[in-house]
Structure 1
Amino acid sequence: TADSLAGEPIIAKLSEAPGNGAAIGGVKVVTEHAWFAARPSGTEDVYKIYAESFLGEDHLKRVQAEAKTIVDAALGA
């Protein structure tokens, strides 16, 4: 399993909502300055990745690329 994302340690891996413990239907990975969430599409045979970086566009692109690698590895793609 990955322990870093875009050069930062992963501080949380969530599959349930923090407030009520409800399943989020995917996974959310959090670092100090970024996060990504991955979940299956409801209409296509693909998964979708949503990401945000608080350090700018270049960091976001790195987060997105590494998120895809992490999810592909988890799914055995």
Structure 2
Amino acid sequence: MKVLSSWLHEFLDSPVTPEAIAAAFDDLGTPVEEEVRLGDGLDGIVVARVLTLGPHPNADKIQLVEVDAGDGEALQICCGAF
């Protein structure tokens, strides 16, 4: 069974660490197999909005994509995913 710690915190009066929650489950006879922290390993990943998409002038299988990564400056990227 998977349980979100944010859901469990709705039922708790004070902040409790995920480790303490896992220990409490173990004490109740429900062993915790693993703790997964969502978002781990995503440092450095940037989500951007595509503004324009067009063909590359010198390549058939590459597109020129203009994106907004949230800093107000449009970036031009060569992309082969389209």
Q: TM-score, normalised by structure 1?
A: 0.25
- Larger Cα-atom Rg: 2
**By percentage of residues, which structure has more strand?**
1
Higher RCO, 1 vs 2 (CA within 8 Å, ≥6 residues apart)? 1
